[in-house]
Structure 1
Amino acid sequence: MGSRTVLECRGLRKSFGDVRAVDDVSFEITAGETYGLLGPNGAGKTTTISMVVGILAPDAGAVLVDGAPPSTAAAKRRIGYVPQELALYPDLTGRENLRFFARLYGLSGRAAAKRVDHVLDVVGLADRAGDLAREYSGGMKRRLNAGIGLLHEPLLLVLDEPTAGVDPQSRNAIMDNVRELAATGMAILYTTHYMEEAERLCDRVGVIDAGRLVAEGTRRDLVARVGERSRISLVVQGDPEAARRLAEGLPEVRSAATHDDRLDLVVDDPRACLPAVLASVGRDGVVVRSVEVAEPDLEAVFLHLTGKALRG
C-alpha cells in the first residue's frame, strides 16, 4: 500500500434543514488503498462523497485531494467520480459515450481513441462498444458508467454504490476492476451497503451510521474492537476429550469445548493456527473427519456498533 496520502477528510459536517446528514466525519486514503464507507441507505455515505468530489460544500471541516480542495481545477483533474445514478446518453453507443466524455476531459485525437479502447477493455465492453447504450443490460450500463470515471486516469476514484441493481456477472466484473485499479496505485473510495463487497475489496472500512463514523479499521481491527472471535469446529473420531486437552495446550486457542464427537475451538486467527491445531489434535489416535471455520464478519460488527442490521 502506498504511503502518499491522496484524500484527507477532516471534521466534515453537513445539514439539510434540521437534519444533520454528516456529523464530524474524518478519514484519509493513501495511494493504492481501497477504503469502504459501509452503512445502510440514508447513513450519510452519498452526502460524504458529494463533499469529497466538490458537488456539495461542507458546513464545517475540510477536504483535500492530493493537497488541494476539490473546488480547485487541480483537484478536479485528479478525481474520477462514478455516481449512483447513471450518467449516460442512451442514444449513443458505448464508444461514442466514452469519446464524448473524453472530450470533456480535454482528450482528443489519437490519445482519446487509445484511452477509450483501453477503458472498454478494462470494463469488459470492447465486444459491445458499437451497440447503443440503451440496449445494454443494467450491469453493462453500470460498467460503462464506471468507465467514464476512468477516462482521465484519476488519482482518486470515487464509486457510489456501483453494483446497485446489477446482475451477478456484472457485479463480479466491477469488483474485479476495482481490485485491478487499486493494484495500479489508484486510491479508491467505495461506498456500499453490501457487507460482502466491503470484506472482499476494502483494505480499510469506515462504518457510518446516522451521519457519524462510528468505527474505522481493517476487518480484523473492527472485529477485535467489538470482541468477536473466530471459531474452528472439528468432527473427530477417537477420544474428543483427549483432543480438547491437546488443543487447549496451544497458545493460539482461547477456549475449547466438546459436544459429542465435535470439538469447538475459539481462536484469534483460524487460517494461521489451523495447521497447528490439526497437528496437535491428531495425536493419540484421534482422526479429524471434518473441519469448519467460522469467522466473524462486518455484518456482526455493524450490528454490535449500531444495534441495526446492515441492510436496514
Structure 2
Amino acid sequence: MSPEFILYLVINTAVVLAIAPLFISLIKKVKAWTQGRRGPPLFQTYFMLAKLVKKEVIYSPHSSWIMRVTPIINIAAILVAALFVPLVFVPEPVGGIGNIILLLYLLALAKFFMALAGLDAGSSFGGMGSSREMSISAIIEPTTIIVFAALVFVFKTLNIFEMFTLSAASGTLSTPTLILIGISLFIILIVETSRIPVDNPETHLELTMIHEGMILEQSGSNLALMELSAAVKLTLLMALLINLIIPFGLSTTLSAAGLLLALVLFLVKGTVLAGVIGLFESSMAKMRFFRLPSLFAMAFFFSTLIIIIEVFS
C-alpha cells in the first residue's frame, strides 16, 4: 500500500467525520426556515454528540451482546464504506477498496446489526421498527442493486475510484444518462437514510417511526455512535451523488492547494444538496407504508432504462 493511499485513508476519514454532523444540521435548518422558524444552530449536531458521549450507557436487562457490539460494528462498517467514496481526493485503486459490490455489503451489514439490536432489547417499539426496516429493505435493495448496476454499465467498471477518475477527467456531465442516475441515487439516499417521505428522523411517534424505533434503546456513547454513523452514511451517499454528477473540483493529485480547493467546493456542493433535501422533505408528507414501492419504482425504471440504453448503444 503506497504512502499516497495511506494519506488518502486518513484524509477521507477525517473529512467525513468532521463534516457529517454539519449536513444533518443544515437539513434541519432549511426545514425550520420553510416552516417559519429560526431552527437549531449549525453546530447543534456536534453539541448533541458531545453531550451524548458524556452520558451513561444503560442496557436493557433483556439485551445480549448484540446490543453492546452493534454501535461499534455499525460505525466501523460505515467508516470503511466511506473509504470507498472519495470526498476531495481520488487515489489509485488498491486491493478491493472501492469495489461497488463490497460497498453495498458493508451498508447492508450495518443495517442488519441495527435491526438485530432493535429486536435484542425486547422492546415492542424496537421490534416494530426492525420489522418495518427489513420490509422496506426487501423492496429497496433490488432497486439499489439495479441503480448501482446502471453506474457500472455507464462507467464500464466496478471500482468507484475509477468512476470518479473518469468523471473528474471530464469536469462536466460525461453522459446525459447520469442525470437519470442522479435522480435514482437521490431516491436511494432518501430511503437509505430514512428521511421523509419514507420515515421522519425527528419523530418518536410509535405509529410511524422506523429508524428511531431501532435505536430507541440505545443511550450515552452508544447512541452517539449510532447517530454519527447515520450522519456519515448520509454524507457518503451525498458524496457519491454530487461527485459523480457534478465532478468539478475533485482533486486527482495530492497537493495542499488542490485538496483545500476540493474541500471548499465539496462543502459548497454538499450545502446545496442538503438544502435540496431539506426543501424536498418540507414539500412532502410522510407516505403511507404500502405506497412506498411506487417511489422505489421510479428509481428502478430509470436505472433499468439506462442499462438498456448502454447495452444496445
Fold conserved (TM > 0.5)?
Answer: no
More helix by share: 2
Q: Normalization by structure 1: what TM-score? A: 0.24
Question: Looking at CA atoms only, which structure, 1 or 2, has the larger radius of gyration?
Answer: 1
Q: Which of 1 and 2 has higher RCO (CA within 8 Å, sep 6+)?
A: 2
Q: Normalization by structure 2: what TM-score? A: 0.24
More strand by share: 1
